[in-house]
A and B are shown apart, each in its own frame.
Chain A
Amino acid sequence: MDHSSLPSPFRLLWQQFRIEWRLYARDRGAMFWTFLFPLLMLFGFGVIFRSGGPPALTLVRVAPARETERDRAFLKALEESRLKITTLPAPQAEERWSKGGTMAQLESVGNGYRLRLNSYLLVQGQVAAQAASQAFLVAQARLNGSPEPDRIPLVIESPGHAHSANYAAFLVPGLIGLNLLTMGLFSVGMVTVAYREKGKFRRLAVTPLPKWVFLLGQILQRVTVVVVQTVLLLLAARLGFHIVNQGSNLLLAGLIVLGTATFLAMGFALSSLASTIETYGPISNLVFFPMMLLSGVYFGLDSAPRWMQNAVFLLPLSPYLRVLRAVFNDGATLAGHGAGLAVIGAWAILSFALAVKRFRWV
């Protein structure tokens, strides 16, 4: 009877990795949320907001009761701008407005005009309003016979000129980041709390299986889940929307490794703050929802108050998505992202330190 020859830890590691994958694959909920859900989001939102290029700037013009010379000159100047003009009789214009389909509407009021902007589409509406104001000045000058003012040309594109504001392209890095956050908070954090609460760690602790083998096997499985998720998303983006990485593939891979490490450590750190699933639930939601909604996964935060943008930048997901989008969408390098990378690095190090210091098996 030779008790000293324990099985090789590397063989055990491979085996733990395999059993974690096998059991993960049996969990239909996990399969849906990790692999199918991000693809559904990409196709769903990608198709809804499909525009093939920059969003069209439209202006609804309410047909005047009696068209004056000035109205005609204004219309001509508007049509020369890059606005898409739709002239509608007042009742139809009003109906379209009340359904929310109009971003900006030009109306005649007494002797002059009025611009009505949809408060829900303020960003696009403001651009349309500026273009309309310029057109108005041009029309005025023409009527007065004075020199025509120069129009300032308007170009809409993403910061790196590469993929002009296609929403699906904006969404891909957002979903990659969201996958990492979910992996950390739920596949790692919540699972760790559940294992501890249900005594699974205790059961393993009375076997000769080294604890690091168990943990590393679990971590390797989560990392391969992230790899598969990311590859699926990138493939779907390429095949479905012709979106490809504009930057260096090595840089993209490096950023995904950094994000994986950061959110993995966060998951372990958070798991040490709760001893039951009931207490972990609120903690993880407190972290998850603000990050998911405010970090720019689905929409940019450019119109939010400055203080909020600054505050959110201190959470790891927001600077992470910024640098990920700079590389993926704009083909940029890491230059100028020092502050963001520092924020991410600080979170990674703090979480790792907390996880190592506070991690408990029982």
Chain B
Amino acid sequence: MSGQIVVRGLRKEFPKVLAVAGVDLDVAAGEVFGLLGPNGAGKTTTLEMIEGLTVPDAGEIGICGLNWRQHAPEIRARIGVQLQATSLYNKITPREALDLFGSYYPKRRSTEGLLELVQLKDKADAYHVTLSGGQAQRLALALALVNDPEVVFLDEPTAGLDPQGRRSLWEVVGAMKTEGRTTMLTTHYMDEAEALCDRLAILDHGKILRSGTPAELIASLGIPSVVELTFDGAAPDPSAFAARLGSPVEARGDVWEIPTPDPKTLLPRVFTTIESESLEYNQVHVRRATLEDVFLHLTGRSLRE
């Protein structure tokens, strides 16, 4: 077992749903690995089993070559965890919380250094209840780093944050990467997955559909580009247009999407078809395919429902 995190045949069934249906993962030291999928895909359950919070029905988990059955306290000392909803005492301050959690571990980072890292120095002595969502999230991240962990788990680290809050959290994750920590995170934002992750696994209905680097995943689609036609208001039914064009066209909201391996030859045909159909449209764009398209292709659904 060379990887920092090795998972084989992980399964978890809850009374009404098979949450995780056989997951295998290998994460190398220093890698940032993402679990990407919509809500309810089994990301959090998978992560919580690896973190030792949920006992799997079946499967093997190895972290730094250790397993939960024999080495639970040692694993806990070496990992850092940010849960989806981290709750603390209402009237604890970030400084006190970092001191308190730091004291649980054999090895700890300085409270001052962590406050600086997550830009909470000016809120160091404010009660937890008075922190904004982004500040509380950054404190949760600092708490996950308090023991100078080798492996860090982040569950939806930017859920509910504004764009600025997300950016500053991404910076901290970037800093963690340069410090050589192995990181596993879940997200349902494809831009986050693309920006942060070295490798990804796309999860749906408790199964890994595909894994690889973001570039590999997009390349595996075989359709690097998408031509988009936007309309004023809802897009009309594209079936007649698609038949004349000779390529599949998908209507989503106020957009028609025409995936293509070769936009250079497709575009002139699109314009010809537009003219012959005398189509009233607003704009035309050509964009690169994204992880969103990969997900759509694999599941037939959008990531953000």
Q: Choose one: A4, A207, A362; the contact of B104 (CB below 8 Å).
A: A207
A93-151 residues with Cβ-Cβ distance < 8 A to B are: none
Chain A at the B interface: mostly helix, strand, loop or mixed?
Answer: loop
Proximity bits, B112-151, A CB within 8 Å = 1, else 0? 0000000000000001000000000000000100000000
Q: Are A362 and B53 in contact, CB atoms less than 8 angstroms apart?
A: yes
| Contact A7 B87, CB 8 Å, known A19-B96, A23-B92, A206-B53 | no
Chain A residue with the shortest CB-CB distance to B66: A3
How far apart sit A5 and B100, CA to CA, in the bound complex (Å)?
Answer: 18
Q: Are A19 and B106 in contact, CB atoms less than 8 angstroms apart?
A: no
| Contact A208 B89, CB 8 Å, known A12-B103, A203-B83 | no
Q: Are A6 and B106 in contact, CB atoms less than 8 angstroms apart?
A: yes
- Is B205 positioned at the interface, with any CB of A under 8 Å from its CB? no
Which residues of chain B have C-beta atoms less than 8 A from A23's C-beta?
89, 91-92
Which residues of chain B have C-beta atoms less than 8 A from A6's C-beta?
73, 77, 105-106
Chain B residue with the shortest CB-CB distance to A28: B91
How far apart sit A72 and B79, CA to CA, in the bound complex (Å)?
Answer: 95
How far apart sit A216 and B212, CA to CA, in the bound complex (Å)?
Answer: 47
- CB A12 to nearest CB in B, in angstroms, measures 7
Chain B residue with the shortest CB-CB distance to A362: B53
Q: Are B76 and A203 in contact, CB atoms less than 8 angstroms apart?
A: no
Q: How many residues of B contact A (CB 8 A)?
A: 28
Chain B at the A interface: mostly helix, strand, loop or mixed?
Answer: loop
B47-105 residues with Cβ-Cβ distance < 8 A to A are: 51-53, 73-74, 76-79, 81, 83, 85-89, 91-92, 96, 100-101, 103-105
Q: Choose one: B51, B76, B88, B143; the contact of A208 (CB below 8 Å).
A: B76
| Contact A198 B85, CB 8 Å, known A1-B107, A23-B91, A23-B92 | yes
How far apart sit A205 and B103, CA to CA, in the bound complex (Å)?
Answer: 15
How far apart sit A5 and B104, CA to CA, in the bound complex (Å)?
Answer: 11
How far apart sit A340 and B81, CA to CA, in the bound complex (Å)?
Answer: 50
- Is A200 positioned at the interface, with any CB of B under 8 Å from its CB? yes
| Contact A27 B104, CB 8 Å, known A202-B83, A206-B83 | no
How far apart sit A295 and B183, CA to CA, in the bound complex (Å)?
Answer: 57
Q: Choose one: B52, B74, B86; the contact of A203 (CB below 8 Å).
A: B86
Q: Are A199 and B83 in contact, CB atoms less than 8 angstroms apart?
A: yes
Which residues of chain B have C-beta atoms less than 8 A from A362's C-beta?
53
- Is A278 positioned at the interface, with any CB of B under 8 Å from its CB? no
- Is A2 positioned at the interface, with any CB of B under 8 Å from its CB? yes
Q: Are B103 and A3 in contact, CB atoms less than 8 angstroms apart?
A: no
Which residues of chain B have C-beta atoms less than 8 A from A7's C-beta?
103-106
Q: How many residues of A contact B (CB 8 A)?
A: 25
Among A23, A26, A202, A207, the one with the most B-chain Cβ atoms within 10 Å of its Cβ is: A207
- Is A86 positioned at the interface, with any CB of B under 8 Å from its CB? no
Q: Are A3 and B74 in contact, CB atoms less than 8 angstroms apart?
A: yes
How far apart sit A354 and B26, CA to CA, in the bound complex (Å)?
Answer: 42
- CB A106 to nearest CB in B, in angstroms, measures 62
- Is A51 positioned at the interface, with any CB of B under 8 Å from its CB? no
Which residues of chain A have C-beta atoms less than 8 A from B74's C-beta?
3-4
How far apart sit A208 and B77, CA to CA, in the bound complex (Å)?
Answer: 6
How far apart sit A2 and B53, CA to CA, in the bound complex (Å)?
Answer: 24
- CB B143 to nearest CB in A, in angstroms, measures 8
- Is A248 positioned at the interface, with any CB of B under 8 Å from its CB? no
- Is A15 positioned at the interface, with any CB of B under 8 Å from its CB? yes
Chain B residue with the shortest CB-CB distance to A25: B91
- Is A232 positioned at the interface, with any CB of B under 8 Å from its CB? no
Q: Are A199 and B87 in contact, CB atoms less than 8 angstroms apart?
A: yes
Which residues of chain B have C-beta atoms less than 8 A from A5's C-beta?
106
How far apart sit A203 and B52, CA to CA, in the bound complex (Å)?
Answer: 11
Q: Are A207 and B106 in contact, CB atoms less than 8 angstroms apart?
A: no
- Is A209 positioned at the interface, with any CB of B under 8 Å from its CB? yes
- CB A204 to nearest CB in B, in angstroms, measures 8
Q: Choose one: A3, A198, A202, A203; the contact of B106 (CB below 8 Å).
A: A3
Q: Choose one: A19, A27, A200, A208; the contact of B105 (CB below 8 Å).
A: A208
Q: Are A207 and B88 in contact, CB atoms less than 8 angstroms apart?
A: no
The 6 closest A-B pairs by CB, nearest first: A198-B87, A206-B81, A208-B76, A26-B91, A209-B104, A3-B77
**29 examples of A-B residue contacts, CB within 8 angstroms:** A3-B74, A3-B78, A3-B107, A5-B106, A6-B77, A7-B103, A7-B104, A7-B105, A12-B103, A15-B103, A19-B92, A19-B100, A23-B92, A26-B127, A195-B87, A198-B85, A198-B87, A199-B83, A202-B83, A203-B81, A203-B83, A206-B76, A206-B81, A207-B101, A207-B104, A208-B76, A208-B77, A208-B105, A362-B53
Chain B interface residues (CB < 8 Å from chain A): 51-53, 73-74, 76-79, 81, 83, 85-89, 91-92, 96, 100-101, 103-107, 127, 143
Additional A-B contacts beyond A3-B77, A6-B106, A207-B76 (7; CB < 8 A):
A195-B87, A203-B83, A203-B86, A203-B87, A205-B52, A206-B81, A209-B104
